[in-house]
Amino acid sequence: MTDLMTIGIDTFDGEIDMPVMTVTTTAADKIRELLVQRNIPNHFLRVFVSGGGCSGMQYGMAFEAEPRDFDTRLDVAPGVRLVVDPTSAMYVGGATIDFVDSLMGGGFRIDNPNAVSSCGCGNSFRTKGEASAEEAESHSGCNCH
């Protein structure tokens, strides 16, 4: 079983709300490793949601030097900091970020309790109230990569 770290929302005005995400120890270690490899140890990892993918919405991650206005700052572990914009936070609330390395391929995986369906690669999802299941199933395969 992988250790989990619950992350509380720590906004720049000092208010702390309910936890927004959980990050496994494996994922935090991988983020730290990538920051060192790229020689950007003080950057943030932005976790975001955008339209697209074969299920309607898709996850994204990118390193950034500074948070933007209205971002939520998440201090995961020493040397590992995440940022999430307000819109994305609505879609990833309660999600778990993990890093999986297997013979079939590896990478970051997000287990999102808000997703009512997702594509085979796990990078694309649909939430309640979006397109119907029949519309989501009409996509021919996973084209997220």
Check which CATH number belongs to the domain holding 100 and give it: 2.60.300.12
Q: What's the start-to-end Cα distance of the chain, in Å?
A: 28
The answer to whether position 45 is within a domain reads yes
pLDDT beyond 80 at 136 = no
The answer to whether position 59 is within a domain reads yes
Task: Find the DSSP H helices in 9-60.
Answer: 25-37
SS3 for 24? Answer: strand
pLDDT beyond 50 at 1 = no
Single pTM value for the model:
0.69
C-alpha–C-alpha distance, residues 106 and 10, integer Å:
30
The answer to whether position 103 is within a domain reads yes
The answer to whether position 25 is within a domain reads yes
pLDDT score recorded for residue 99: 93
The answer to whether position 145 is within a domain reads no
Domain range for 17: 4-137
- Total number of domains constituting the chain: 1
Work out the pLDDT band at 119, boundaries 50, 70, 90.
Answer: low
Work out the pLDDT band at 19, boundaries 50, 70, 90.
Answer: low
> Is the Cβ–Cβ distance between 84 and 97 less than 8 Å?
no
